[in-house]
Amino acid sequence: MNTPAISKSSENKRQQIMAGAREVFMDSGYAAASMERIAKTAGVSKGTLYNYFDSKETLFVALIQSECCKEGTPPPPAEFSNAPPAPILTLIGQQWLQGLIEMKQRTFFRIVLAEVMQFPELGQALEASGPAVAMSNLSRYLAHLDQTGVLRIPDPLLAAEQFFALCDAGIVRQMQLSVAEPTLEKINYRVEHAVRVFLAGYTPQV
């Protein structure tokens, strides 16, 4: 009877540690953060911290997996059986870009970019926690459109990459270089054009 309470207490402690780690990593980056400082910020002992996470890398990867956006991942293709692709792709593109520019996502991405040459596993974790999921799910939807004859898409995974690249169209680069901050109007404009170009390229020729 006590197991659920213990489990809840354990999860609360884990979230407490994650909150402390989030503060330290965002303030200092990955390399300058220490497990000692994370434990102090989280209000736990180092022993307790290591009971939950055996290394700084493990903790940071866990943060990436919990914090990085998973927007832009469409529901299962079956939910779109009778829906035209244009509004579905528009929604997916908007979710994708809005997730990429969300401040928390941007902060983690910059931390990873600063450390990825020395710690490539951080980049791999960032990719696996969000972008790879989005690509996989969109490719499943595109495969569904191909199988039902709505579009002609011989390589759905490549097409998913192409679609997200069309939606981006320089927004992320300009944001990262502090050239321009993306607006909702700019996002919607980019996605609208991306959907038109994408459908034009993959609509079967009669």
Q: Give percent of the chain above pLDDT 90.
A: 38
Q: What's this model's pTM, rounded to 2 decimal places?
A: 0.74
What pLDDT, in 10s, does the model give residues 168-185? 888 877 777 777 777 888
Q: Which residue is listed with tokens 């809840």?
A: 8
pLDDT at res. 70: 47
Integer Cα distance of 6 and 178 in angstroms = 47
Between helix 184-202 and helix 156-168 the angle, nearest 10°, is 150
In terms of pLDDT, which residue wins out, 100 or 48?
A: 48
Integer Cα distance of 31 and 69 in angstroms = 23
SS3 state at 47: helix
What pLDDT, in 10s, does the model give residues 90-120? 999 998 888 777 767 777 777 877 777 877 8
Specify which of 4-18, 22-36, 61-75, 89-103 reaches the highest per-range mean pLDDT: 22-36
pLDDT at res. 2: 42
Closest CA to 36 of 48, 26, 27: 48
pLDDT at res. 75: 53
What pLDDT, in 10s, does the model give residues 118-169? 778 777 877 877 788 889 889 999 999 999 999 999 999 999 999 999 998 8
